[in-house]
Structure 1
Amino acid sequence: MKKIAVLTLGLAAQIIFAQANRFVYQVTMKPDSTDRSATKTELAHLDISGGNSIFYAENRLKRDSIMGRMRQTGSFNFDRSQMQNLRTNMDFIIEKDYKTAKKLYKARILRDQYAYEEDRPMNWKILPETTTIGEYKTQKAETQFAGRTWHAWFTTEVPFQDGPYKFSGLPGLIVKVEDAKGDYSFDLKEAKKINEIAAFEQFGSTISVKRAAFEKQQDQFRKDPAAAMAAMTRGGGSFRIQMDPNQRKQMEERQKEEQKKNNNPIELK
């Protein structure tokens, strides 16, 4: 593993011949607009192989790995505190196809897995300002996306026109990107070669929808998570969740409190 502080131009040559590459970003978020001192920080990975990339939270990968081992062994005994510590504010996966320029966003709403193709172009304005971040020479760029103004610093020393989250399309890797209000920031911290990009197990079918339809469903859940939880416990088939009334009430109340504290999403519109 190579720290960003000691990465040099030699990394570019190594990347070209690597089977796959992982860029680790520190993500800093202020998800509660009513308490701007409440900052959350976690790590996320951008895995690149061939003409594709995948972006996801490190905790999401760890949780999926634990659940996968439990399913393989048939033993579902787990440390609840450990799983609680692996919760993420970025419970989604973003896949990019360099050839088609398509970006596929995947996320769950309770038991259902949704996927939509990003339909908004990301038009960058490259600015003359330059700076050095770690050992990278970077240049500034700006874009308006999903209700926020974003400033990015990219480097041509790494031959990927990609970056964290949905950001891409600059003439090099995005080393840092943050919104103008300081609510969200992605900062490259590490880079390393890996054997293959992360793979996540798929359970059940994925519901492919338009972005607007997904956002409507997500908004309904945020406004009334209790109703969504109640519908889930009444559901039929193999996905039905059975719990006593006290358990259901506790889950609904916890979900309500979480939604209250997550009122400042990365995408405002």
Structure 2
Amino acid sequence: MLAGILNKHSSQMKFIIFFLGISTFCFSQKFTFIYETKYRLNSEKPDDVNSDNMILDLKNNTSIFRDSQDKKSDSVKLNNGNGRYKMGVENQFYIKKNLNQKRIEKVITYLGTDYLLPIEEILNWKITSEQKMIGKYKSQKAETNYGGRNWIAWFTTELPFSNGPYVFNGLPGLIVSIQDSNNEYSFNLIEVKKGGNIFDAGTKPIKIDWEKYETLAKSFFNDPYDINTKVAMGKTVTFTSPNGIVMDISVKTKEMQKNILQENNPIELNHKINYK
């Protein structure tokens, strides 16, 4: 009888050691998760949907989430090159997570300067008993609130990473699908790669809060082509269309401001900026 108990205990220990070995192996490796990201620029235009592939690079409990093209641009920037330039305050950003330190940060590049915005909103998940297959993964439903939106997520313990796209994390497995209840933002896992290159191209980012973020956004809205700075430096500012027609920059400024007003549907709805 004692031998049986010892054998049973030995088997349990072997299972625990095996499980820990698998966990250690998983979390000590690099993984890349690619998400198809869809979003509506205008909440009143349900058919106006943009789609991008975004990448979650993960090593241990550290991750970076960004647009696939931005990752290529960041790689060039990291090697002392000129990365891709995007107009706007939030059009070029990435999300840094350090889950051991419970730190999530949004790094925004604006006019060549990196700004670091800490994400301090806590995700309180409600895990339900509902399950379904998503692709090849057995997934379970969970809900939370973030950024003034209600989010419905599906996670799988078959990928044992408490992480996910954008700022989302904290579930007992990787988030394979998440969307807000208004169907304005969605992230769906489409590919998993072992390995990958995780790097941070941020250079001495300036820490800001949401109030300062709003100030930057309004500054861009009022002067999207940085005319004031250029004029102060003695430069002549004009805009040449693809047809070669030179026009007053104020015309292009008004076009940009119109686009900003029409596409003002941020993922953090509780930080939506009133430009008027």
Q: TM-score, normalised by structure 1?
A: 0.77
Q: What does the per-residue CA deviation read over 1:108-167, in whole Å, with 9 as the maximum and x for residues that have no partner?
A: 233332102111101111111111001111110111111100000001111110000000
Could you say which residue in structure 1 is the equivalent of 2:226?
229
Q: Give how far 1:217 is off.
A: 2.0
User: Does the C-alpha gap of structure 1 residues 94 and 217 become closer, same or farther in structure 2, counting only changes over 3 Å?
Assistant: same
Match runs of 1:194-233 below 5 Å: 194-200=195-201, 202=203, 205-214=204-213, 216-221=214-219, 224-226=221-223, 229-233=226-230
CA positional deviation for 1:18: 6.2
Q: CA deviation at 1:212?
A: 3.5
Task: Tell me the distance in 1 between the aligned counterparts of 2:46 and 2:112.
Answer: 31
SS in 2 for 1:139: strand
CA RMSD of aligned residues (A): 3.2
Q: What per-residue deviation string (whole Å, max 9, x for no partner) do you get for residues 81-111 of structure 1?
A: xx799x9x85211111111111011002333
Q: Gaps spanning 5+ residues in structure 1: where? A: 1-11
Following the alignment from structure 1 to structure 2, what is the Cα–Cα distance between the partners of residues 56 and 232?
29
Q: Does 1:30 align with 2:40?
A: yes
**Higher gyration radius (CA):** 2
Q: Could you tell me whether the CA contact under 8 Å between 1:119 and 1:211 is conserved in 2?
A: no
1:66 CA displacement: 5.3
Q: How far did 1:17 drift?
A: 6.8
Counterpart in the other structure of 1:152: 153
User: Distance between the aligned counterparts of 2:199 and 2:91, measured in 1?
Assistant: 16
Partner of 2:62: 52
Aligned equivalent of 1:8: none
SS, match of residue 259 in structure 1: helix
Matched, 1:265 2:263: no
**Aligned equivalent of 2:115:** 114
Go from structure 1 to structure 2 and tell me whether the alpha carbon gap of 1:67 and 1:121 turns closer, same or farther (over 3 Å shift). closer
- The letter of the residue matching 1:55 is F
> What is the distance in 2 between the residues matched to 1:263 and 1:250?
20
Taking the TM superposition and a 5 Å limit, the aligned residue runs for 1:3-22 are: 16=26, 19-22=29-32
Matched pairs, number: 240
C-alpha distance in structure 2 between counterparts of 1:193 and 1:176, whole Å = 19
Contact 1:221 1:228 in 2 (8 A): no
- State TM-score, norm by structure 2: 0.75
CA distance in 2, matches of 1:14, 1:234: 57
Question: Post-superposition shift, 1:209?
Answer: 1.6
Q: Supply the AA of the counterpart residue of 1:24.
A: I
Higher RCO structure (Cα 8 Å, ≥6 apart): 1
Counterpart in the other structure of 1:40: 50
Whole-angstrom CA distance in 2 between matches of 1:33 and 1:15: 43
**Cα pair distance change 1:26/1:140, threshold 3 Å:** same
Give 1:4's aligned residue: none
SS of the residue 1:152 aligns to = strand
Is residue 224–residue 256 contact of structure 2 (8 Å, CA) maintained in 1? no
Which residue is equivalent to 1:245?
238
Question: What is aligned with 1:168?
Answer: 169
CA distance in 2, matches of 1:17, 1:122: 22
1:38-85 CA-partner distances (Å, limit 9, x unpaired): 11000000000122011111121233445667x55xxx8x9xxxx799
Letter in 1 for 2:129: P
Deviations 1:218-267 (A, max 9, x none): 44246x3427723342566xxxx945334644653453243133211111
1:62 aligns with 2:61: no
Cα contact 2:40–2:184 (8 A) shared by 1: yes
Distance change in 2, residues 1:54/1:84 (3 Å): closer
Alpha-carbon displacement from aligned partner over 1:153-205 (angstroms, at most 9, x marks no partner): 00111111000000001111000000000000000000002243144263xx4
Q: Could you tell me whether the CA contact under 8 Å between 1:94 and 1:103 is conserved in 2? A: yes
